[in-house]
A = this chain, B = another copy of it.
Amino acid sequence: MSDALNLVLFSGTADKLHAAATLAAGAAAMDRPVNILVQYWALDAFRSERIEQNLGLSWDATADGASRPVGGTRSINWLETLRMAKELGEVRVLACSGSMDVLGIAMSALDPIVDTEGGIATFLAAAEDGQIVFI
């Protein structure tokens, strides 16, 4: 089977993007190709004017008695981790064309960490029979 790790990024909070970026970096460090499809709120977070902003935390963080990140949300440096993953190995970031339509986001509005634009079929074809992780 394909040894690619394939991630569908749907969520746009710093904690989930961090979880995704660490998976990508781990796989890249093991010389595995990584394909990332960026959809919906993740796509929205990848806009140039938003990607460096404080993206907040998941709903789970609002629960009574939940811990807070040491150093605050800003300390969850998911973007640095994702950039490192791209330096470590073959990590392709694809903006989902369907989500671009739904949210009205053009390719020119996205951060250059996005490599190209494409649809589900492109992503599934690249993923072949490798692992797919939806985050």
A92 at the interface (CB under 8 A from B): no
Q: Are B13 and A40 in contact (CB under 8 A)?
A: no
Give A19 to B65 CA distance when docked, in angstroms: 22
Q: How many copies does the complex hold?
A: 3
Q: Are B134 and A131 in contact (CB under 8 A)?
A: no
Q: Nearest 5 CB-CB pairs, A to B? A: A26-B120, A41-B60, A59-B59, A70-B104, A67-B103
Q: List A residues at the B interface (Cβ < 8 Å).
A: 1, 3, 5, 8, 10-13, 15-16, 18-19, 22-23, 25-27, 29-30, 39-41, 44, 47, 50, 53, 55-56, 58-61, 63-70, 75-76, 98, 101-105, 119-121, 123-125, 127, 129-135
